[in-house]
Amino acid sequence: MITPNTWVEIDRAALLSNIHACRQLIGPRCRLLALVKGNAYGHGLRETARVLLDAGVDSLGVEAVGEALALRAAGITGPVLLVGPIPDANVPLLYAHHLTPLLVSPEQVQTVGAFTQQTSCMLNVHLKFDTGMHRQGIMRQEFPVLLDLLAKYPGLRVTGVATHLAHADEAEQPERTRRQLNHFGEVLAMLAAAGIRAPIRHAANSAAALLWPEAHLDMVRFGIALYGFWPAEAVQRASAGRLTLRPVMTWKTRVATVKAVACGCGVGYNGSYVTTRESRIAMLPVGYYDGYSRSLSNRGQVLLHGQRALVCGRVSMNLITVDVTDIPAVQAGDEVVLIGQQGAAAISAAEMAAWLGTIHYEVTTRINPLIPRVVVG
């Protein structure tokens, strides 16, 4: 067995706790779709999906056909909703692998409908409507064309109707979300008048599930909350006391070597960090190839022996250096935490995101998918 230079641990108990909290929030009659797109938000597609399904989530959501086929290859047979674009050449794979596409335009309905007609097959589909996000979704003015296409292609079995809320995490400004929900209600009424009553209506992501109970409908698309992160600070403030989320991920590496460096020496490429005293510098086998951003040069911190150590010098492709002068016990082989908790100290994905001027979603999803994900606990 190969020992990796860097790895990500997935805390099964924390993930199960978050699933339970989300279940309690939406109640027993509402379906829970777990989004595992983006390599399960960086947590590991196959590894995380197995825990989610063992915990009884109702279905999984992926972005691309390739993600769905990876799940099928891993022996996962449950319902999978494909929420991203579908190249025409991939349409036959939907039927072959029992995938449900989320169709977002009349053109997609036409393409998938023509396939069902040519192959004399039935295919479950969800329809997505644009109620104000102006990204993906069927527009109100396209409704007559949509109805004509659905009548033309009876092989399309509409089992779900969806929308996406652009401002669901804005707890202090509810008007836009209420407007979108009202618009979605009008769409559902128009579909019902045309004889289309899908059993699954869904509009809520994690933020909407926490802030807008009226958006729960028949299914909630949980993503970031399952992995123990709040969608936004405003959502966390508004949800205080109602549920607890536990971070699932710990990203680790090990000390490769430690060396003594004299005062006044430059460290790393271009000598961007210059020692101001006799120092001990530890080399860690992780870098921007692994997803540890170069923008963390001379800014990031890691945990060693339960203490923080500064990243000193440039982050390289596969290596970073950290100043461990004030942690004298550090030696080669010691475990290092990049994201997560070590003793009483912790570095969260949100803190790393603040160093980078981005969001925690980006931090975790950019961790190289080739890095091993190990389920623990």
* Catalytic residue (one of 37, 227, 252, 288): 37
Known active-site residue 128 = no
How many Cα atoms sit within 13 Å of 103 on the Cβ side?
A: 26
Rounded CA Rg of the chain: 24
Closest CA to 126 of 153, 83, 158, 94: 158
What residues does 336 pair with on adjacent strands? 253, 304
**Could you confirm whether 252 is annotated as catalytic?**
no
Annotated catalytic residue within 128, 259, 269, 361? 269
Q: Dihedral sign, CA of 324, 370, 91, 206?
A: negative
Distance of alpha carbon 65 from alpha carbon 85, whole angstroms: 9
Catalytic residue annotation: 37, 269
